[in-house]
Amino acid sequence: MTSELSLHHPRYVRSNRYDPMWVTQNQMGPNALWLTESLTEVLSLAPGMKVLDLGCGKAMSSIFLAKEFGVHVWAADLWISAADNQERIVEAEVEHLVTAVDAEAHTLAFEHGFFDAIVSVDAYQYFGTADLYLGYLVDFLAEGGRLGAVVPALKTELGDEVPTTLAPFWEWEFCCWHNPAWWTHHWAKTGKVAVDHADLIDDGWRDWLQFNDFIAPHVEGWWIDEVATTHNMLEADRGENIGFTRILATKN
């Protein structure tokens, strides 16, 4: 279908304004702009706010937040260097709003209470599933600061067996994909935050498939196999198990 080979999305009107090839060239999985825009549906942002984008990858989400909301963003990532991201930030003409930093999520070099919001898009699952991590991270938020994440989800928590439809595609790291109820409990049990919002993004799997199929003709190297496998997995599953959890909390 033509619509599946476009990056136009009726829900994500802000994302529609970005060059699809820029999004394709800087992708690291699902569409970071769509996931970020979904978070901003529930997270209020205002010009001048200080936002940490943790696990920003190639900083598309950071650039998006700066352009769309006028917030100051610290674009922090482990695998992608700050120097690499700085080039993209300058090209996007938001260097007055976005600061690229080399960062490891457990050794952040910021002052406590510095940020009004911390966001993480398709990244928090890599470092945030340990019980004690949230308590470490919220120290970097101001009082009443917000913590928001969008992450891949298994709609039903993994039991002893991998769901049958996913078995041919399963990678052990998918065990960090959790549903909204799991994340809500994981965060709330610390007593450090109040969870304001936790849900599955409607038809998130369709969005992932649409994006995956759009980028497929343009990727190179190991991404060719990656997008083929992702396509087959999402088509086989058709949303039975896979989605995205969106979660937002306020620091107590």
Residues forming contacts to ligand SAM in the complex (CB under 6 A) are 28-29, 32, 55-57, 60-61, 77-80, 103-105, 121-123, 126-127
Token pair 């450090």 is at which residue?
192
Taking the complex as a whole, the smallest distance from the CB of residue 121 to ligand SAM amounts, in Å, to 4
Q: Which is nearer to ligand SAM, 81 or 252 (CB)?
A: 81
DSSP string covering 118-133: EEEES-HHHH--STTH
- Nearer to ligand SAM by Cβ, of 173 and 181: the residue is 173
CB of 97 to ligand SAM, least distance (A): 18
Q: Which amino acid is at 4?
A: E
| Closest separation in Å from C-beta 206 to ligand SAM | 18
User: Phi-psi category of 113—alpha, beta or left, where left has phi over 0 and alpha has psi -120 to 50?
Assistant: left
Minimal distance in Å, beta carbon 227 to ligand SAM?
A: 14
Identify which of residues 28 and 142 has a Cβ nearer to ligand SAM in the complex.
28
Residue 249, SS3? strand
**Burial (CB count within 10 angstroms: exposed 0-12, middle 13-18, buried 19+), residue 54:** buried
Question: Of 123 and 158, which CB lies nearer to ligand SAM in the complex structure?
Answer: 123
CB of 102 to ligand SAM, least distance (A): 9
Residue whose CB is less far from ligand SAM, 20 or 194? 20
Helix (H/G/I), strand (E/B), else coil: 60: helix
CB of 212 to ligand SAM, least distance (A): 13
Strand ranges (E), 66-184: 72-77, 98-102, 115-121, 141-154
Phi and psi at residue 63, to the nearest 5°: -65, -40
Q: Which residue is nearest to ligand SAM (CB)?
A: 57
CB crowding 175-189: b at 16 or more within 10 Å, else e: ebbbbbebbbebbee
Of 143 and 151, which has the nearer Cβ to ligand SAM?
151
